[in-house]
Chain A
Amino acid sequence: MSRELCFLTIAEAGRRFRSGDLSPVALTEAFLARIAEINPRIDAYLLVTADAALAAARTAETELAAGRDRGPLHGIPVAFKDNIETAGIRTTAHSRVLLDHLPAADAAVVEKLKAAGAVPLGKLACLEFAHGAPSPDQAFPPARNPWNPDHGFTGGSSTGSGAAVAAGLAMAALGTDTGGSIRNPAALCGTAGLMPTYGRVSRRGVIPYAFSLDACGPLAWTVEDCALVLGAIAGFDAADPGSADLPVPDFTAGLGRGVAGARIGVLRHFFEDDMVADREMAASIDAALEVLAGLGARVSEARVHPLMDYHDVKTLIGEAEFFAAHEADWLARAGDFGASLQYRTAEGAMIPAVDYLQAQRARRHLATEMDAMFDDFDVLVTATVLDPAPPMARDGGGPRARKPNLTQPFNVAGVPALSVCTGFNAAGLPLAMQIAGRAFDEAAILGVGHAYESATPHRDRRPQL
């Protein structure tokens, strides 16, 4: 029974709360029991806030019984990537540097979820400062992929967010995304994951990676649940200088409309020419496009600049901004950084100011080109990752060359992008596609993702733990 409750969607749990068939306290107790049972095998949580969760669940139960309904997140158990600050609750960003960090205030997204009545289960593992790589010298073990807990990598950097949602240890989790850190773990763990438009969700209280690229958004089992969480966390915040002062629509309003007539552009060159995706991954995307075409979408090829151009721009901006954000700690206590991040941080110090600025200028050209694509297409589809979950790296984290990835273009362009599970390979590991849209049109990509999920059986399969 406990397992079944933990595999409900947010939408299903909300319906059961309101029919009196399920209580927030019972649901929260089920999640806490499952975390106690499963988390030691996958290390998704760094910290479980059981007392706070039960208190919030009791409040939600009382309020719902009294008819005071805060909306679709009321009584729903959620968790936060540990680079998102929580008042009085340790927030480490998975780093020894912040082992004693007790924030004075909640991040804006935590404030909003609490105001929506959500139940905070705890803090989730991530790559160190959302940018390192697993190495044995870190303060906490890395999260492991529920589809292959013995040695599977979750994807990063929102490692625990992907693992927790897939394993049924949270109904939704917040992650952050600077070059793919929501969508990569969503893809490798088989969940849905949404990077909202740059500026849609406040980053106040999110420990930065790169100021001009960072976004915060949800991972959940279904696209519909991502839409529900986005509705709770989106909105203008004057304390975030990148925040956009735009109205927040009901992101679920168009989910039932289907995709008949929708114009879908396929960025095939990203995963066939610029980089080459695994055969089963590519086949699953082709099959997904056939499903969407069968639902009435108009599918055709699209082309933008090569992936390498986006990669160059993202690397120069991201590494330089990361060093700017973390320079003081690195110079004062670099030995507290994990081995991988010691080297990556030093890279940022060596990027000339003029190269950073030329990358920002180039970014404008790439973003303008991407914006123009949405004159011809409602959404763009490409792969999220090239390969299913790889084994966990065990090299201890020396200096490592990086390759272009398929998620960076949408961070560079500042447009929203969603990862959706497209099935499983022969080894039982999740496959995925990525759906991107015009700035502030999250509703369009959520609509396409929901139509695809509704037409396929992939949401019925969960990892066996």
Chain B
Amino acid sequence: MIRARLADLFAAADLAIGDDDLDRMVALVEENLAAGERVRRLVERYDEPAFGLPGRRRAAP
């Protein structure tokens, strides 16, 4: 599925991509999905407020 989505994405941008590069792109996307799984370890169930722009957060009185 990742491979097909990438192929569609490159086709939408009218870019050619060879099989080897597509294989490497699939590996990079899989690694990013694994990173997405890993960051969930750092998050608790309801630990909101989740985030804010640091500048604003720290600028608050």
Once the chains bind, are A309 and B55 in contact (CB under 8 Å)?
no
- Residues of chain B within 8 A of A315, CB atoms compared: 32, 35
Q: How far is the CB of B26 from chain A (nearest CB, A)?
A: 9
Task: Known contacts A312-B35, A399-B21; decide if A365 and B53 are in contact (CB<8 Å).
Answer: no
Task: Give the residues from 350 to 389 in chain A that come closer than 8 angstroms, CB to CB, to chain B.
Answer: 350-352, 354-355, 357-367
Task: Known contacts A199-B54, A312-B39, A358-B43; decide if A335 and B32 are in contact (CB<8 Å).
Answer: no
Task: Known contacts A309-B38, A309-B42, A346-B6; decide if A364 and B51 are in contact (CB<8 Å).
Answer: yes
* A343 interface contact, C-beta 8 A: yes
Task: Known contacts A350-B29, A361-B47; decide if A245 and B59 are in contact (CB<8 Å).
Answer: yes
Task: Give the residues from 25 to 61 in chain B that come closer than 8 angstroms, CB to CB, to chain A.
Answer: 25, 27-29, 31-33, 35-36, 38-40, 42-43, 47, 50-51, 53-56, 58-59
- Residues of chain A within 8 A of B6, CB atoms compared: 346, 350
* A59 interface contact, C-beta 8 A: no
- Residues of chain B within 8 A of A244, CB atoms compared: 55-56, 58-59
Once the chains bind, are A360 and B51 in contact (CB under 8 Å)?
yes
Once the chains bind, are A334 and B14 in contact (CB under 8 Å)?
yes
Q: How far is the CB of A439 from chain B (nearest CB, A)?
A: 5
- Residues of chain B within 8 A of A45, CB atoms compared: none
Contact with B along A375-407 (1 / 0, CB 8 A): 000000000000000000000001111000000
Q: Of the candidates A197, A342, A347, A355, which one forms a contact with B15 in the assembled complex, judged by CB atoms under 8 Å apart?
A: A342
Task: Known contacts A355-B39, A399-B28; decide if A199 and B55 are in contact (CB<8 Å).
Answer: yes
Task: Give the residues from 2 to 19 in chain B that come closer than 8 angstroms, CB to CB, to chain A.
Answer: 2, 5-6, 9-10, 12-15
Once the chains bind, are A347 and B12 in contact (CB under 8 Å)?
no
Q: Of the candidates B27, B47, B50, B59, which one forms a contact with A246 in the assembled complex, judged by CB atoms under 8 Å apart?
A: B59
* A316 interface contact, C-beta 8 A: yes
* A296 interface contact, C-beta 8 A: no
- Residues of chain A within 8 A of B9, CB atoms compared: 346, 349-350
Task: Kindly state the interface size class of chain B when it binds its partner.
Answer: 20 to 34
Task: Known contacts A199-B54, A335-B15; decide if A358 and B32 are in contact (CB<8 Å).
Answer: no
* A440 interface contact, C-beta 8 A: yes
Question: Which chain A residue shows the least CB distance to B30?
Answer: A350
- Residues of chain A within 8 A of B10, CB atoms compared: 346
Once the chains bind, are A352 and B36 in contact (CB under 8 Å)?
yes
Q: Of the candidates A241, A245, A350, A362, which one forms a contact with B32 in the assembled complex, judged by CB atoms under 8 Å apart?
A: A350
Q: Of the candidates A349, A363, A399, A401, which one forms a contact with B51 in the assembled complex, judged by CB atoms under 8 Å apart?
A: A363
Task: Give the residues from 299 to 356 in chain A that come closer than 8 angstroms, CB to CB, to chain B.
Answer: 305, 308-309, 311-313, 315-316, 319, 330-331, 334-335, 342-343, 346-347, 349-352, 354-355
Q: How far is the CB of B45 from chain A (nearest CB, A)?
A: 11
Question: Which chain B residue shows the least CB distance to A339?
Answer: B21
Task: Known contacts A334-B13, A335-B15; decide if A199 and B33 are in contact (CB<8 Å).
Answer: no
* A77 interface contact, C-beta 8 A: no
Once the chains bind, are A330 and B59 in contact (CB under 8 Å)?
no
Q: Is the interface of B mostly helix, strand, loop or mixed?
A: helix
* A242 interface contact, C-beta 8 A: yes
Once the chains bind, are B35 and A331 in contact (CB under 8 Å)?
no
* A414 interface contact, C-beta 8 A: yes
Task: Known contacts A398-B24, A399-B21, A440-B58; decide if A359 and B39 are in contact (CB<8 Å).
Answer: yes
Q: How far is the CB of A375 from chain B (nearest CB, A)?
A: 16
Task: Known contacts A309-B38, A331-B12; decide if A343 and B50 are in contact (CB<8 Å).
Answer: no
Once the chains bind, are B25 and A347 in contact (CB under 8 Å)?
yes
Once the chains bind, are A355 and B47 in contact (CB under 8 Å)?
no
Contact with B along A203-232 (1 / 0, CB 8 A): 000000000100000000000000000000
- Residues of chain B within 8 A of A138, CB atoms compared: none
A401, B4: Cα distance in complex, Å: 20
Question: Which chain A residue shows the least CB distance to B12?
Answer: A331
Once the chains bind, are B42 and A414 in contact (CB under 8 Å)?
no
Once the chains bind, are A365 and B43 in contact (CB under 8 Å)?
yes
Once the chains bind, are B39 and A243 in contact (CB under 8 Å)?
no
- Residues of chain B within 8 A of A241, CB atoms compared: 53, 56
Contact with B along A223-257 (1 / 0, CB 8 A): 00000000000000000011111100000000000
Once the chains bind, are A399 and B35 in contact (CB under 8 Å)?
no
Once the chains bind, are A439 and B39 in contact (CB under 8 Å)?
no
A367, B47: Cα distance in complex, Å: 14
Contact surface of B with A, Cβ cutoff 8 Å: 2, 5-6, 9-10, 12-15, 21, 24-25, 27-29, 31-33, 35-36, 38-40, 42-43, 47, 50-51, 53-56, 58-59
What would 9 A/B residue contacts be, using CB atoms closer than 8 Å?
A: A197-B58, A242-B56, A309-B42, A316-B36, A343-B28, A346-B10, A359-B35, A398-B24, A399-B24
6 additional A-B pairs beyond A305-B42, A360-B51, A400-B24, beta carbons within 8 Å, are: A199-B54, A243-B55, A347-B29, A362-B42, A399-B21, A414-B55
